[in-house]
């Protein structure tokens, strides 16, 4: 069956995520739009996911646990996991690899942890949008070793896409999928023949996809997504 998905967006824990990107707003907007499965992928952290999972379960939207890491080469890469626990474990692993730079909320935006009532319970002090001191190879191995799936993000968009950050997609890393930004050119040569994912990378509620991107899955669940990507 085909299920409508949007597997890349940011909550208000990402400094660049709009403060309207609260757990309830995101999940209810996705429900309203009729999306079957979504992923909230904050920059270098999965620590808002336990609350988002609770809201998603309550509202009835399937959540694929994920985050968007910044590699030492300044490339953005999505890391998807089967469970929120696995994503949180990985998040705790990478945290000490973030440089100890304090967030400047006025400059970069607030990094808010919210509860299930969309109340700010605390703020993350360390700036989350800097590069980790881990290379793309190290992160790929760490994510794969934990049973996750590493997907280079928006490879054809901006300086943080792999094609600009590295100039190529490494053939040595066994990527199973690439995220490609729709509407932007994509070189036809030099790309591994793997699945392409298209997502909104929404930082604002209005940018979350409508029912426009579909995956052929048995069910709209993380397990079925893993089966599809790893097949």
Residue ranges binding Zn ion (CB under 5 A): 68, 76, 153, 201
The residue among 68 and 124 lying less far from Zn ion, judged by its C-beta, is 68
The residue among 36 and 201 lying less far from Zn ion, judged by its C-beta, is 201
Handedness of CA 145, 149, 152, 153 (dihedral sign): negative
The residue among 203 and 224 lying less far from Zn ion, judged by its C-beta, is 203
What is the CA 119 to chain-centroid distance, rounded? 23
CB of 162 to Zn ion, least distance (A): 11
Cβ within 8 Å of residue 159, ≥6 positions away? 74, 165
CB of 16 to Zn ion, least distance (A): 8
d(CA 111, CA 123): 5
What is the CA 69 to chain-centroid distance, rounded? 8
Three-state DSSP class for residue 48? coil
Closest by CA to 32, choosing from 8, 4, 13, is 4
The residue among 68 and 213 lying less far from Zn ion, judged by its C-beta, is 68
Q: Count CA atoms closer than 13 A to 161's CA, side-chain side.
A: 16
CB of 117 to Zn ion, least distance (A): 26
The residue among 136 and 153 lying less far from Zn ion, judged by its C-beta, is 153
CB of 61 to Zn ion, least distance (A): 19
Round to the nearest angstrom and report the end-to-end CA distance of the chain. Answer: 16
d(CA 217, CA 231): 11
Three-state DSSP class for residue 80? strand
CB of 57 to Zn ion, least distance (A): 24
The residue among 36 and 179 lying less far from Zn ion, judged by its C-beta, is 179
CB of 1 to Zn ion, least distance (A): 27
- Helix count and strand count (H, E) for the chain: 7, 11
């Amino acid at each position: 069956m085909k299920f409508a998905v949007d597997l890349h967006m940011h909550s208000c824990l990402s400094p660049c995520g709009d403060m309207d990107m609260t757990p309830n707003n995101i999940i209810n907007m996705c429900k309203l739009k009729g999306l079957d499965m979504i992923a909230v992928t904050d920059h270098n952290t999965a620590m808002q996911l336990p609350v988002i999972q609770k809201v998603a379960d309550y509202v009835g939207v399937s959540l694929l646990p994920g985050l968007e890491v910044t590699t030492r080469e300044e490339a953005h890469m999505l890391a998807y996991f089967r469970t929120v626990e696995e994503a949180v474990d990985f998040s705790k692993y990478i945290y000490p690899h973030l440089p100890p730079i304090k967030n400047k909320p006025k400059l970069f935006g607030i990094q808010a942890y919210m509860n299930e009532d969309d109340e700010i319970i605390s703020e993350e002090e360390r700036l989350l949008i800097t590069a980790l001191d881990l290379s793309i190879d190290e992160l790929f191995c760490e994510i794969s070793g934990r049973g996750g799936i590493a997907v280079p993000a928006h490879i054809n968009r901006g300086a943080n896409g792999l094609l600009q950050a590295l100039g190529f997609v490494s053939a040595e890393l066994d990527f199973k999928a690439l995220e490609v930004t729709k509407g932007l050119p994509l070189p036809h040569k030099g790309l591994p023949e793997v699945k392409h994912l298209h997502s909104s990378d929404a930082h604002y509620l209005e940018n979350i996809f409508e029912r426009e991107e579909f995956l052929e899955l048995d069910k709209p669940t993380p397990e079925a997504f893993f089966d599809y990507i790893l097949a």
